[in-house]
């Protein structure tokens, strides 16, 4: 009956019957890590292709359509090309930090994936401070960007990295506060329990008006967090060349590129988990088939990813002062008001429950 559960359980039992406990759990961790790495390398490649296709359709173009059927193998070919390329670097770069930076970015992106509840059973690490962990981890990635910009010994890269620092520090507040608004309803930070709360209606429905505001603020600041247009001052091509990754080539560049898309996926996944009931089907229509949860989760996430792509290909890039005005004069005060409103609604029991 429960396909995913039985497979993982069988492997789990088989491993523990074969080896001593410590070795078995280490092997299991390695296996899970490998599966996550493989799945998300593929997801990253798929998202790059999706981005290019969606961009093309927004601009009345066709997009990649030569490699494979409908261009589906385009990003695979790009990845192969990047693997085969030379890793160049500047002479006066700080070699150690320069080589370390891409791994910072990609590892934080992958760490955040561990706590996401893809379905009832498919969650690697159900920690009781789930959301706190996600917010903390997702802002560590900026250290990688700062390191990359600093160690490249390139002024454009440094300016890009500093902008990234400014942007992430500012918008981290909004991300945290907008998620906090919703935590007022759930009363827990553990992601699996947040999903259980949403059996009575997704949180965006339960929290109605303030939850809608929180969702809008979250999507805006989440887009800023991933350094995507309209907040892509970090790699503003017309001003900074390629920003913080100007001096990177080959696979090191690909790590930055992949991390950006996995971050986008993570931001959309958090929104799915918090606001749209994660793997829960609407009105419980597939309640009897729990393994369908993965598809519900990915479906909702892809819709939100599409929304972020829609932003990207519609809005022009903000200036740095506009970026900071938007955060400190608009999003932050509104967010604080929104928390008060949500607190009143929860206090007076005005949430919508099915």
Partner 1 sequence: MSYFSDIYNGIKTLLTGMSVTGKYFLHSQKGAITQQYPDNRDTLKMFERFRGEVVMPHDENNEHRCTGCQKCELACPNGTIEIIWDRQVDPETGKKKKMIEKHIYHLGMCTMCGLCVEACPTDAIKWAQNYENSVYDRTTLTRVLNKPGSKLMAGVED
Binding site for partner 1 (CB under 8 A): 54, 56-62, 310-311, 313-315, 330, 334
Q: Which of 187, 191, 183, 190 is nearest to 210 (CA)?
A: 183
CB of 215 vs partner 1, minimal distance in Å: 13
Cis? peptide before 230, omega within 30° of 0: yes
What percent helix, strand, coil does the chain show, rounded to 5? 75, 0, 25
Q: How far is the CB of 239 from partner 1 (least distance, A)?
A: 22
Q: Is residue 221 within 8 Å of 69, Cβ to Cβ?
A: no
- Closest to 264 in 3D by CA, of 112, 81, 57: 112
User: Considering beta carbons, is residue 217 or 233 the nearer one to partner 1?
Assistant: 217
Q: How far is the CB of 65 from partner 1 (least distance, A)?
A: 8
| CB nearer to partner 1: pick between 14 and 57 | 57
Asked whether 247 and 87 are in contact (CB, 8 A), the reply is no
For partner 1, the closer CB: 5 or 334 = 334
Contacts of 85 (CB under 8 A, 6+ apart): 249, 250, 251
Q: Which is nearer to partner 1, 194 or 308 (CB)?
A: 308
Closer by beta carbon to partner 1, 36 or else 313: 313
Calpha distance 272→282 (Å, rounded): 13
Q: Distances in Å between the alpha carbon of 45 and those of 79, 80, 213, 259, 271?
A: 8, 11, 32, 11, 21
Least distance CB 54 / partner 1 (angstroms): 8
Shortest spacing between CB 314 and partner 1, in angstroms: 4
Instruction: Return the number of the residue (3 or 62) whose C-beta is nearest partner 1.
Output: 62
Shortest distance in whole angstroms from residue 62 CB to partner 1: 5
């Amino acid at each position: 009956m429960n396909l995913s559960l039985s497979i993982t359980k069988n492997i789990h039992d088989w491993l523990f019957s074969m080896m001593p406990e410590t070795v078995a759990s280490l092997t299991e961790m390695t296996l899970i890590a490998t599966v996550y790495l493989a799945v998300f390398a593929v997801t990253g490649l798929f998202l790059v292709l999706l981005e290019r296709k969606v961009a093309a359709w927004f601009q009345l173009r066709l997009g990649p359509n030569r490699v494979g059927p409908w261009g589906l193998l385009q990003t695979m070919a790009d990845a192969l090309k990047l693997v085969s390329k030379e890793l160049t670097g500047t002479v006066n770069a700080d070699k150690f930090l320069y080589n370390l930076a891409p791994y910072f970015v990609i590892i934080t992106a992958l760490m955040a994936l561990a706590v996401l509840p893809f379905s009832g059973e498919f969650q690697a690490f159900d920690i009781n401070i789930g959301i706190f962990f996600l917010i903390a981890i997702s802002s560590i990635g900026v250290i990688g960007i700062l390191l990359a910009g600093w160690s490249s010994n390139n002024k454009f890269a440094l300016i890009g990295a500093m902008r990234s620092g400014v942007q992430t520090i500012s918008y981290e507040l909004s991300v945290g506060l907008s998620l906090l608004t919703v935590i007022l309803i759930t009363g827990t930070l553990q992601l699996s329990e947040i999903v259980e709360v949403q059996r009575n209606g997704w949180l965006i429905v339960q929290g109605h008006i303030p939850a809608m505001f929180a969702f809008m603020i979250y999507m805006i600041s989440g887009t800023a967090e991933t350094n995507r247009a309209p907040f892509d001052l970090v790699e503003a091509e017309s001003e900074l060349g390629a920003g913080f990754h100007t001096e990177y080539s080959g696979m090191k560049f690909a790590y930055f590129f992949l991390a950006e898309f996995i971050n986008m996926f993570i931001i959309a996944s958090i929104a799915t988990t918090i606001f749209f009931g994660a793997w829960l089907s609407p009105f419980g229509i597939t309640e009897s088939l729990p393994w369908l949860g993965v598809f519900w989760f990915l479906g909702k996430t892809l819709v939100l990813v599409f929304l972020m792509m829609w932003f990207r290909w519609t809005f022009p890039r903000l200036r740095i002062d506009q970026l900071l005005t938007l955060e400190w004069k608009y999003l932050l005060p509104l967010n604080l008001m929104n928390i008060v409103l949500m607190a009143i609604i929860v206090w007076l029991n005005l949430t919508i429950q099915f």
